[in-house]
Amino acid sequence: MVSERARAKLEQIAARKTRPPKKDKARSLAQLRERWKQSAILTSGVPADGISPSSSTPVPRPP
């Protein structure tokens, strides 16, 4: 019988061996924020000046 610890380690090894390789290399935080902003603009329909990466809600536009 295999211990819990050994089984967990074997599962980690199996996951690493069967996982497909990563497609992209690591990106900087600035690149990630820019990609997030572009994605938010496309999916939400909110104007670009109404999206702020520092808050989770859109910033209201002045009249």
Range from 10-14, 38-42, 43-47 that averages highest in pLDDT: 10-14
pLDDT of residue 60: 60
Q: How far apart are alpha carbons 40 and 34 in whole angstroms?
A: 10
| Residue 26 neighbours by CB distance under 10 Å | 7
Cβ–Cβ < 8 Å for 51, 38: no
- Give the tens place of pLDDT for each residue, 15-34: 989 888 878 788 899 999 99
